[in-house]
């Protein structure tokens, strides 16, 4: 079978998008990661293109259960290109499909992680937290609204990638590395700004030497403003890299540390 006689419809794209949004990570495993989920996402369409029980279907099912791992926010772009190839060439597109999946899953992974898993939560989290401190709930609705727009983007990209087909591979390849670098820099910048503005504690202990009161926090501010929150954040990152340390343990340690420092009047807000 060299070419499929079936043409994908709006109903097919809708079904794929539903499986993408709600089930894509359910088959995740350490051996092939998202491989089984990728196959499940497009299996109804593969059956329509190759026919139930055919050798071609079995061969492509084996192909799609191989190792696959990329960003949840961009994987349907790869799926759209894949389906365009298979619809046009059938089983003959097997090698090209493998090449597209292998070649694109790596570049798309850091883009999704940098933009949607790091940059967007850092920006929206800081906005929501800043508004919440002042008793304003608008930040939460902004975050929910942005998440809704991101899911619309995820819904639309499948059909766009399918229509553009393999042209996307050549038109986007030169832009991927620049986009990853820009998103990474912006993410680091936002995390730094979040540390400086949202971690609000300082030394309140003021020991006396004779008649002289030593303002420890003032000394730190002369060296480097917001140095204490930066050092504390660095310590937490260091702890999270230790063997046996988990985010849950770190959170409990922070709570105990904060209570102890407040009780002994060493640190405060």
- Rounded to an integer, what distance in angstroms lies between the CA atom of residue 234 and that of residue 236? 5
* 20: its two tokens: 């993408």
* 151: its two tokens: 């899911």
CA-based end-to-end distance of the chain: 71
* 172: its two tokens: 């986007």
In this structure, what are the phi and psi dihedrals at residue 60, rounded to the nearest 5 degrees? -75, -30
| pLDDT by position in tens, the chain (length 269) | 456 678 899 999 999 999 999 999 888 888 889 999 999 999 999 999 999 989 999 999 999 999 999 998 989 999 998 998 888 888 888 888 888 888 888 888 888 877 887 788 878 877 888 888 888 888 888 888 888 998 999 999 999 989 887 565 556 555 555 655 665 676 677 677 777 777 888 888 888 887 888 888 888 888 888 888 888 889 998 998 888 888 889 999 999 999 998 888 888 87
Q: Of the candidates 4, 20, 6, 7, which has an alpha carbon nearest to the alpha carbon of residue 156?
A: 20
Predicted TM-score (pTM) of the model is 0.63
User: How far, CA to CA in Å, does 92 sit from each of 78, 103, 212, 220, 259?
Assistant: 18, 18, 84, 67, 66
Q: What's the DSSP call for residue 117?
A: I
Q: What's the DSSP call for residue 114?
A: I
């Amino acid at each position: 079978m060299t070419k499929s006689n079936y043409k994908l419809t709006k109903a097919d794209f809708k079904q794929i998008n539903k499986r993408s949004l709600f089930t894509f990570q359910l088959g995740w495993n350490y051996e092939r990661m998202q491989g089984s989920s990728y196959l499940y996402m497009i299996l109804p369409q593969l059956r329509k293109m190759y026919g139930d029980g055919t050798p071609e279907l079995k061969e492509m099912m084996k192909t799609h259960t191989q190792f696959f791992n990329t960003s949840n926010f961009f994987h349907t772009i790869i799926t759209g290109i894949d389906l365009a190839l298979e619809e046009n060439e059938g089983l003959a597109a097997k090698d090209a499909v493998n090449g597209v999946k292998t070649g694109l899953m790596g570049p798309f992974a850091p883009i999704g992680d940098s933009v949607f898993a790091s940059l967007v939560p850092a920006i929206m989290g800081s906005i929501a937290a800043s508004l919440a401190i002042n008793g304003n709930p608008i930040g939460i609705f902004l975050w929910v609204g942005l998440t809704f727009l991101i899911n619309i983007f995820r819904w639309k990209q499948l059909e766009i990638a399918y229509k553009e087909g393999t042209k996307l591979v050549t038109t986007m390849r030169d832009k991927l590395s620049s986009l990853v670098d820009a998103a990474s820099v912006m993410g680091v910048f936002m995390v730094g700004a979040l540390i400086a503005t949202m971690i609000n504690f300082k030394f309140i202990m003021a020991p006396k030497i004779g008649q002289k009161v030593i303002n420890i926090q003032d000394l730190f501010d002369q060296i480097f403003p917001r140095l204490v929150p930066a050092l504390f954040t660095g310590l937490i990152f260091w702890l999270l890299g230790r063997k046996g340390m988990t985010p849950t343990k770190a959170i409990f340690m922070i709570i105990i540390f904060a209570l102890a420092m407040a009780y002994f009047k060493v640190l405060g807000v």
